[in-house]
């Protein structure tokens, strides 16, 4: 009896402490100030770079959606509106496909094709094809065509840029099989015994601005939440209705219809988006990693029941959720799920990547959460299993200094905070997710706590923790 | 007709007064008038396309220097000056290599590279590479990138021009056993294998590009080289043409000789030759050129290489080219004649050849041999008699009244050409029967055609009258 009494007091103390720590009104005010000081309140909304919009602005605009859900303060709807207006303004159509979008060369590759010409010798150049996926290195690629020529002797060669006529390298000593790297950022070697007069041609393709579904998903998902909120509440029509409609029509055409071009139907497994068919894409036309199509699938889950949404949205959302669900692997011992970063089929054979990492996993979890909350494929059982992944597989079991593993299989090091966004939304199915998040939150100083306000507040709300009233 | 009778008849015809004497003055006037009627005397000198300059203007330039050799009338030197200065003024450097030149896309190929993307299925596209050199639709090659995509279902595809985003073809039925795709002109592909919705195949094309051709430069430069030689070896012409000859020599040395050194290949101990450029749309990038193409420019080096003060490397290249070509002549013992291939080259370490040389390209080869022999470089009198025997014993139809020459140097494709052909008729220097047949062909021509062919006929007469005069043109 005494133990039960002490436990009850402890729980009450914890709850009171938690409630006292999460003063919604105070945090709301603090976060507004924090946001206003972040790049003059504009976040990365004015960037024309897709990567910056996805990974920079995406987190900012998502935080507004979180704060709206938690506080119901229209201020945050206004922020989403203002940011997306700026985002739309930078959309362009450089490839002429009739759809506006955003591009970045950050993840684009440099590609080189090398071949011998009609040479006297049988010497050959290798490799015939190469791709440099290192962004910084790839950016050095000129996109020009080069000739490697043994002009006067067979023991040394020159390299000529055919586009400019310039000699890039002069009398480079030749050694069979030895790599040379004067045509940046590539390395070639020549095998065999070249003769004077032999030539080899290298055609290069420089990185180009590509469009990424995952980036679009990162900022379109919060905009979808904005549209849904406005469309469902008559009280918001006057102030936000026209923008919501404009945003919906823009998203219908320039995001949904545009990505339909890259849709891949996988039958009973569902479906997902493919990468663009560009030579400088890392894997042109392959189905995307789960986090990449999942980022945008969340938006379709939100919008599918909104009046005016594209009629195919519901189907595509379901197909993508089903595709992800198909590849979850049940760890019966821990009653948890693990999954790969990427599953695909090529040449008719299945392929997969490494276990999903914690960082990309936030988007997968967000997809599952959104699907479960809207009754699409994911059940409470599924969500509990995902929570078990977090708590039984990935958590270091340290209640004082909780840290999370690098990947969903529990791979060390434990370098992630339990406060990491979207994983924290599993709190809806397991309170301990919130407890760990709160523990991490309380470990921050006041400024950092403010920056984490949207995450912890949403986590608390989803866990059913009562908010602190303004005037208790 | 037996061979003996033919010889006797030819000798008889050669004694006929009407054919024995050509009125050089009248023919010169006739050709002058004919020439002035050709684009108001400009010929094709104002062209910027190297193919036109070579195959249209080149013959005109040669006719002028031939007429100079025959008549010693400086009018013809002035014609060379007027034309070449216009030609030189149109030389450009679009490839930025620091050398001026003339370009054409006329002989360039269209190229297509095709490959599958990261598709679900194992379906394939072939061929991986195509190089279309001659095709009625070659001009339609856009140089764009295309996508063949199974957007809706595996049973049909569409073709999208990625550069313009236009649909080239839509809803094309697909048969996994093999479907021909010919909507990307002028290429043809085959898709095979079971496809999956979403499969895509990429086709990257390269349209024919403007490139420079050594053969064309030779056709232009060879007559100018003879102009330079004429000025340099004729003191009386120095005052009037000396500066121009020097300027032309400087232009040629840099923009033709030095530029093309990068295309040179040594084939020691036989000699050497030029190769095609490395441009992607060349028909066979970097291949050793066909004989006529390399020797076209070789003729100019033979001429210039014998002059004092000229880069000695020019003469060396001429010698090497003569050595290599000479080594590839095949002797027909029965006729004591020569045949040779259109092209001999080395690739992958192997010696390769094409068919026997044709008469039209062969005139350049023979012209090279003539220049070499007249300068005592590799080709001997015996060699030239053999080449004359090729013309007279292998290629001639043995009809003295209506002589016709075969389409190839081995006598195949009989009766295809007249006996009055540029450079072939210069063999008259070694065998008078060449001149006799040329005269017979000449007699068949009407006045206009006689005016047109006057330089060739007159040079034949002149060279035939001065056999073996190799150093004093």
Q: Are B411 and B437 in contact (CB under 8 A)?
A: no
Q: Over 70: is that where the pLDDT of B70 sits?
A: yes
Tokens of A435: 């407890």
In this prediction, residue A279 has a pLDDT band, given cuts at 50, 70 and 90, of: very high
- b/e per residue, A452-469, with b = 16+ CB within 10 A? bbbbbbbbbbbbebebbe
* Å between B141 CA and nearest CA of chain A: 19
In this prediction, residue A466 has a pLDDT band, given cuts at 50, 70 and 90, of: confident
CB proximity list for A333: less than 8 A, separation 6 or greater? none
CA distance linking residue B151 with residue B165, whole number of Å: 14
Q: Give the global pTM.
A: 0.90
Predicted confidence at residue A468, as pLDDT, reads: 64
Any bridge partners for residue A190, and if so which? Answer: A125
Angle between helices A58-71 and A24-36 in degrees, nearest 10: 150
CA distance linking residue B418 with residue B453, whole number of Å: 12
In this prediction, residue A4 has a pLDDT band, given cuts at 50, 70 and 90, of: low
Q: Over 70: is that where the pLDDT of B54 sits?
A: yes
Predicted confidence at residue A390, as pLDDT, reads: 98
Q: Over 60: is that where the pLDDT of B17 sits?
A: no
What is residue B55's DSSP assignment? Answer: I
Q: Do B117 and A121 touch (CB under 8 A)?
A: no
Predicted confidence at residue B135, as pLDDT, reads: 86
Q: What is the pLDDT of residues B331-387, one digit of tens each?
A: 999 999 999 999 999 999 999 999 999 999 999 999 999 999 999 999 999 999 999
**Pick from A122, A166, A346: which is nearest to B120 by CB?**
A346
What is residue B95's DSSP assignment? Answer: T
- B269: preceding bond cis by omega (within 30 degrees): yes
Cα-flanking dihedrals φ and ψ of residue B122, to 5°? Answer: -105, 10
Burial class (CB in 10 A: 0-12, 13-18, 19+), A262: buried
**Pick from B165, B200, B285: which is nearest to A95 by CB?**
B165
The residue of chain A with its CA nearest to that of B284 is A118
- Cα B381 to its chain centre, rounded Å, is 25
CB contact residues (below 8 A), chain B span 261-290, against chain A = 262, 264-266, 275-276, 278-280, 284-288
Long-range contacts of B1-10 (CB under 8 A, 24+ apart): B1/B398, B1/B399, B1/B400, B3/B398, B6/B398, B6/B399, B6/B400, B7/B433, B9/B400, B9/B401, B10/B400, B10/B433, B10/B436, B10/B437, B10/B440
In this prediction, residue B57 has a pLDDT band, given cuts at 50, 70 and 90, of: very high
Predicted confidence at residue B134, as pLDDT, reads: 85
Q: Are A291 and A218 in contact (CB under 8 A)?
A: no
Q: What is the pLDDT of residues A197-249, one digit of tens each?
A: 999 999 999 999 999 999 999 999 999 999 999 999 999 999 999 999 999 99
Between residues B16 and B252, the one the model is more confident about: B252
Predicted confidence at residue A249, as pLDDT, reads: 98
* Å between A93 CA and nearest CA of chain B: 11
CA distance linking residue B309 with residue B368, whole number of Å: 22
In this prediction, residue B13 has a pLDDT band, given cuts at 50, 70 and 90, of: very low
Q: Are B109 and B283 in contact (CB under 8 A)?
A: yes
Give the 3-state secondary structure of residue A351.
strand
CA distance linking residue A310 with residue A161, whole number of Å: 49
Tokens of A297: 């699938």
Q: What is the pLDDT of residues B23-52, one digit of tens each?
A: 999 999 999 999 999 999 999 999 999 999
Any bridge partners for residue B338, and if so which? Answer: B331
Predicted confidence at residue B366, as pLDDT, reads: 98
Q: What is the pLDDT of residues A374-405, one digit of tens each?
A: 999 999 999 999 999 999 999 999 999 999 99
CB contact residues (below 8 A), chain B span 140-179, against chain A = 147, 149, 151, 162, 164-165
Between residues B472 and A341, the one the model is more confident about: A341
Q: Over 50: is that where the pLDDT of B16 sits?
A: no
E strand spans, B257-386: 264-267, 271-274, 330-332, 337-339, 344-347, 350-353
CA distance linking residue A329 with residue A349, whole number of Å: 19
Q: Do B165 and A283 touch (CB under 8 A)?
A: no
Predicted confidence at residue A182, as pLDDT, reads: 98
The residue of chain A with its CA nearest to that of B150 is A264
Q: Of A324, A340, A346, give the one whose Cα is nearest residue A269.
A: A324
**DSSP characters over A373-415:** HTTSS--HHHHHHHHHIIIIIIB---SSS--B-SBTT-PSP--
CA distance linking residue A194 with residue B351, whole number of Å: 16
Q: Does the beta carbon of B204 lie under 8 angstroms from any beta carbon of chain A?
A: yes
Cα-flanking dihedrals φ and ψ of residue B264, to 5°? Answer: -80, 145
Predicted confidence at residue B11, as pLDDT, reads: 42
CA distance linking residue B245 with residue B80, whole number of Å: 11
* Å between A123 CA and nearest CA of chain B: 8
CA distances from A282 to A55, A261, A288, B424 (A): 19, 18, 11, 60
CA distances from B289 to A85, A275, B130, B442 (A): 63, 45, 21, 34
CA distance linking residue A289 with residue A281, whole number of Å: 14
Q: Name chain A contacts of B165, Cβ cutoff 8 Å.
A: 95-98
In this prediction, residue A421 has a pLDDT band, given cuts at 50, 70 and 90, of: confident
Q: Are A164 and B96 in contact (CB under 8 A)?
A: yes
CA distance linking residue A348 with residue B119, whole number of Å: 8
Predicted confidence at residue A424, as pLDDT, reads: 98
Q: Of B249, B389, B395, B373, give the one whose Cα is nearest residue B322.
A: B373
Q: What is the pLDDT of residues B409-462, one digit of tens each?
A: 999 999 999 999 999 999 999 999 999 999 999 999 999 999 999 999 999 999
Angle (CA) A307-A312-A313 rounded to 5° is 65
* Å between B286 CA and nearest CA of chain A: 5
The residue length of chain A stands at 472
State mean pLDDT over B266-284. Answer: 95
* Å between A22 CA and nearest CA of chain B: 49
Q: What is the pLDDT of residues A63-121, one digit of tens each?
A: 999 999 999 999 999 999 999 999 999 999 999 999 999 999 999 999 999 999 999 99
Q: Over 90: is that where the pLDDT of A15 sits?
A: no
Element (H, E) at A150: none
Pure H helices in A163-255: 213-232, 237-251
**Pick from B98, B265, B286: which is nearest to A196 by CB?**
B265
Q: Do B266 and A145 touch (CB under 8 A)?
A: no
State mean pLDDT over A184-202. Answer: 98
What is residue B343's DSSP assignment? Answer: -
Tokens of A301: 């889950």
Predicted confidence at residue B465, as pLDDT, reads: 87
Q: Name chain A contacts of B97, Cβ cutoff 8 Å.
A: 160, 165
Q: Over 80: is that where the pLDDT of A22 sits?
A: yes
Element (H, E) at A202: strand A199-205
The residue of chain B with its CA nearest to that of A275 is B118
Q: Do B118 and A283 touch (CB under 8 A)?
A: yes
Q: Over 90: is that where the pLDDT of A35 sits?
A: yes
The ipTM (two decimal places) reads 0.92
């Amino acid at each position: 009896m005494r133990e039960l009494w002490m436990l009850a007091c402890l729980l009450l103390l914890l709850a009171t402490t938690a409630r006292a720590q999460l003063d919604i009104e105070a945090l709301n005010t603090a976060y507004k100030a924090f946001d206003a000081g972040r790049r003059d309140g504009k976040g990365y909304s004015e960037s024309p770079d897709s990567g910056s919009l996805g990974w920079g602005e995406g987190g900012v605009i998502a935080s507004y959606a979180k704060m709206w859900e938690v506080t119901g303060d229209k201020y945050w709807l206004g922020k989403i509106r203002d940011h997306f207006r700026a985002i739309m303004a930078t959309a362009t159509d450089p490839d002429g496909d009739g759809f506006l979008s955003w591009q970045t060369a950050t993840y684009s590759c440099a590609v080189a094709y090398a071949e011998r010409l009609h040479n006297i010798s049988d010497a050959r150049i290798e490799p015939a094809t190469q791709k440099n996926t290192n962004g910084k290195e790839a950016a050095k690629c000129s996109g020009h065509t080069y000739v490697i020529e043994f002009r006067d002797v067979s023991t040394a060669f020159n390299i000529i840029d055919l586009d400019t006529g310039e000699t890039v390298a002069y009398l480079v000593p030749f050694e069979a099989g030895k790599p040379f790297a004067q045509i940046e950022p590539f390395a070639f070697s020549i095998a065999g015994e070249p003769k004077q007069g032999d030539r080899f041609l290298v055609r290069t393709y420089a990185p180009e601005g590509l469009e990424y579904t995952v980036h679009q998903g990162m900022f379109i998902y919060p905009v979808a939440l904005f549209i849904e909120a406005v469309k469902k509440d008559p009280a918001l029509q006057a102030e936000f209705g026209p923008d919501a409609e404009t945003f919906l029509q823009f998203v219908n055409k320039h995001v949904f219809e545009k990505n339909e071009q890259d849709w891949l139907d996988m039958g009973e497994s569902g479906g997902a988006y493919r990468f663009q068919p560009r030579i400088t894409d890392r894997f042109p036309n392959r189905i995307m990693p789960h986090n990449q199509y999942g980022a945008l699938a969340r938006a379709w889950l939100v919008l599918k029941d909104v009046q005016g949404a594209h009629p195919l949205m519901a189907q595509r959302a379901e197909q993508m959720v089903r595709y992800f669900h198909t590849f979850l692997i049940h760890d019966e011992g821990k009653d948890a799920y693990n999954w790969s970063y990427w599953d695909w089929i090529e040449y008719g054979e299945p392929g997969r990547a490494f276990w999903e990492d914690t960082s990309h996993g936030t988007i997968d979890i967000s997809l599952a959460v959104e699907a479960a909350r809207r009754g699409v494929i994911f059940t409470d059982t599924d969500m509990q299993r995902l929570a078990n992944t977090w708590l039984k597989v990935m958590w270091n079991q340290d209640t004082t200094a909780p840290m999370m593993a690098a990947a969903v299989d529990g791979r060390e090091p434990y370098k992630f905070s339990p406060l990491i966004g979207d994983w924290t939304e599993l709190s809806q199915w397991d309170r301990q997710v919130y407890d760990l998040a709160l523990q991490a939150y309380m470990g921050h100083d006041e400024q950092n706590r403010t920056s984490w306000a949207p995450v912890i507040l949403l986590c608390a709300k989803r866990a059913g923790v009562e908010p602190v009233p303004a005037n208790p | 007709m037996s061979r003996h009778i033919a010889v006797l008849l030819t000798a008889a015809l050669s004694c006929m007064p009407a054919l024995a004497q050509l009125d050089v003055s009248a023919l010169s006037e006739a050709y002058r008038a004919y020439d002035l009627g050709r684009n108001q005397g400009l010929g094709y000198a104002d062209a910027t396309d190297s193919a036109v300059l070579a195959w249209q203007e080149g013959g005109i330039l040669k006719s002028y220097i031939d007429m100079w050799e025959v008549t010693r009338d400086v009018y013809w030197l002035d014609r060379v000056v007027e034309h070449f200065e216009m030609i030189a003024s149109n030389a450009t450097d679009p490839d930025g290599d620091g050398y001026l030149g003339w370009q054409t896309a006329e002989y360039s190929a269209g190229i297509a590279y095709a490959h599958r993307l990261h598709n679900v299925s194992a379906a394939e596209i072939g061929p991986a590479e195509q190089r279309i050199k001659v095709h009625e639709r070659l001009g339609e090659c856009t140089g764009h990138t295309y996508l063949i995509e199974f957007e809706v279902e595996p049973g049909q595809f569409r073709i999208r021009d990625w550069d313009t985003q236009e649909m080239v073809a839509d809803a094309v039925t697909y048969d996994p056993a093999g479907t021909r795709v010919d909507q990307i002109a002028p290429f043809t592909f085959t898709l095979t294998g079971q496809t999956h919705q979403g499969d895509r195949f990429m086709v990257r094309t390269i349209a024919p590009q403007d490139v420079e051709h050594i053969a064309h430069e030779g056709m232009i430069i060879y007559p100018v080289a003879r102009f330079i030689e004429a000025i340099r070896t004729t003191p009386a012409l120095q005052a009037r043409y000396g500066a121009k000859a020097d300027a032309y020599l400087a232009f040629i040395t840099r923009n033709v000789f030095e530029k093309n050194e990068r295309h040179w290949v040594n084939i020691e101990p036989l000699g050497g030759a030029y190769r095609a450029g490395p441009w992607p749309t060349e028909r066979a990038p970097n291949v050793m050129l066909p004989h006529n193409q390399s020797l076209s420019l070789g003729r100019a080096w033979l001429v210039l290489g014998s002059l004092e003060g000229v880069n000695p490397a020019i003469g060396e290249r001429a010698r090497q080219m003569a050595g290599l070509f000479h080594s590839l002549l095949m002797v027909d013992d029965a006729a004591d004649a020569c045949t040779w291939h259109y092209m001999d080259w080395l690739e992958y370490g192997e010696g390769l050849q094409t068919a026997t040389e044709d008469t039209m390209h062969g005139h350049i080869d023979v012209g090279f041999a003539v220049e070499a022999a007249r300068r005592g470089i590799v080709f001997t009198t015996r060699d030239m008699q053999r080449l004359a025997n090729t013309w007279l014993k292998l290629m001639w139809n043995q009809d003295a009244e209506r002589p016709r020459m075969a389409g190839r140097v081995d006598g195949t494709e009989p009766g295809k050409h007249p006996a009055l052909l540029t450079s072939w008729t210069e063999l008259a220097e070694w065998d008078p029967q060449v001149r006799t047949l040329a005269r017979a062909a000449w007699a068949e021509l009407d006045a206009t055609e006689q005016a047109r062919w006057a330089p060739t006929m007159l040079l034949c007469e002149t060279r035939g009258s001065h056999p073996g005069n190799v150093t004093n043109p």
